[in-house]
Amino acid sequence: MLATKVPGVDMNGLRDLGDQLKEKLGEGVIVLASDKDGKVNLVTMATDSAQAKGAHAGNLIKGIAALVGGGGGGRPNMAQAGGKNPAGIDACLEESKKVIDSQLA
């Protein structure tokens, strides 16, 4: 699992970065968070093998978006959300690890 903060990147940039990282990672789950112009952008992605083990990007984003004052959703392989509370990004990234652990259990 890769969960990280990337300051100043918009949603399209996060999706592009996520696609690049997914190729490099090969297998796993990616969570990217960015604060831009006082708003939060979140993108989660799960590889096919991670999905086969129970990972679901859409459910992951639903489990963490509230921590940045937002909401979102998506498919098993990719999801995105927006929020209004950049101060919650670190908590959001920490919580993403717990959510993934519960999905893979």
19-44 confidence digits (pLDDT tens) = 999 999 999 999 999 999 999 999 99
Q: Reduce the secondary structure of the chain to three states and give it as a string.
A: CEEEECCCCCHHHHHHHHHHHHHHHCCCEEEEEEEECCEEEEEEEECHHHHHCCCCHHHHHHHHHHHHCCEEEECCCEEEEEECCHHHHHHHHHHHHHHHHHHHC
% residues pLDDT > 90 (the chain)? 98
pTM: 0.96
Which pair of tokens denotes residue 18? Answer: 């996520």
Using the predicted structure, report yes or no on whether residue 76 has a pLDDT greater than 90: yes
Amino acid 105: pLDDT: 78
**Domains (ranges, CATH) in the chain?**
2-104 (3.10.310.40)
- State mean pLDDT over 64-82: 96
d(CA 20, CA 6): 14
